[in-house]
Amino acid sequence: MAGLMKVMVAMMAVTGAACMGGLLMIAGQQWLLVKVDTKGPDEMHLVVPVPVGLLQAGAAFMPEEARRVDFGPDAIPVRMEDLKRLATALEGAPDGVYVRVTSPRETVRIEKQGGDFNIFVKTDEEKVDVRIPIAFLTECLNGMDQNGMNTQAAIDALSTLRYAKVVDIEAPDANVAIWSY
């Protein structure tokens, strides 16, 4: 009986250690949290936690046609090289507000703060708050050409996002927020 008890205690210890290891592994992963709240008669609240590691692993199984997103020949009105130079210049630029537009109907502010490029737009009906880490922007641009983007590069660029609210949109019909942690 004492031998059986030792085996049971050992099995419980191994099981507990395995569970704790799994929890630590999950806790150490990077996650995107997407939250969508719609308004109106068909109100819906949706919260989707997405482990970035799962996206990266799943990218290997993407069909060939999903490995690239084509924008079309006129979608980007400036040369890609110029956008890449702009991202590089932003990294070394001082913090501050670069564009501020205030009118009776809307307010727009574009700024650099720390390592982030921020865009804020507020109207009577909507509020948009987008915070793009410059490292993420640079990684995305490295996977782009004038006509499209490599999907794997975009997924890999997600690893540069950490502990931040990336998107926050408040509109009359829905609110959408995306966090990275």
User: What one-character DSSP code corresponds to residue 29?
Assistant: S
Structure tokens at 60: 């290997």
- What DSSP string runs through 69-134? EE--TTSS-S-HHHHHHHHHHHHHSPSEEEEEEE-SSEEEEEEEETTEEEEEEEESS-EEEEEEEH
Q: How far apart are CA 53 and CA 79, in angstroms?
A: 32
Q: Are 147 and 73 in contact (CB under 8 A)?
A: yes
pLDDT by residue for the chain (181 residues), tens digit each?
A: 444 444 444 444 445 444 444 444 455 688 999 999 999 888 999 999 999 888 888 888 889 888 888 888 777 888 888 988 989 999 899 999 999 999 999 999 999 998 899 999 999 999 999 888 898 889 888 888 888 888 888 888 888 887 788 888 888 899 999 988 8
pTM (whole model) above 0.75: no
**Whether 162 contacts 127, CB under 8 Å:** no
DSSP string covering 135-175, please? HHHHHHHHTEETTEEEHHHHHHHGGG--SEEEEEEE-SSEE
